Amino acid sequence: MSIVKSKVGNFLRCPKFTLYLGILVCFSGVSELMEEFLDGYEAKFHAAHGVILFGVVTILKGLTEFAEGLKVVTTRIKEE
Considering the entire predicted model, what is its pTM? 0.72
Query: Widest CA span of the chain, in angstroms?
Result: 68
- The answer to whether residue 62 scores a pLDDT higher than 60 is yes
**Residues 4, 14, 66, CA angle at the centre, nearest 5°?**
50
Residue type, 60: L
Q: What is the DSSP letter of 43?
A: -
Rounded-to-integer distance, Cα 80 and Cα 75, Å: 9
Q: Are 32 and 47 in contact (CB under 8 A)?
A: yes
Per-residue pLDDT of 7-50, as tens digits, reads 877 888 888 888 999 999 998 888 888 888 888 888 888 888 88
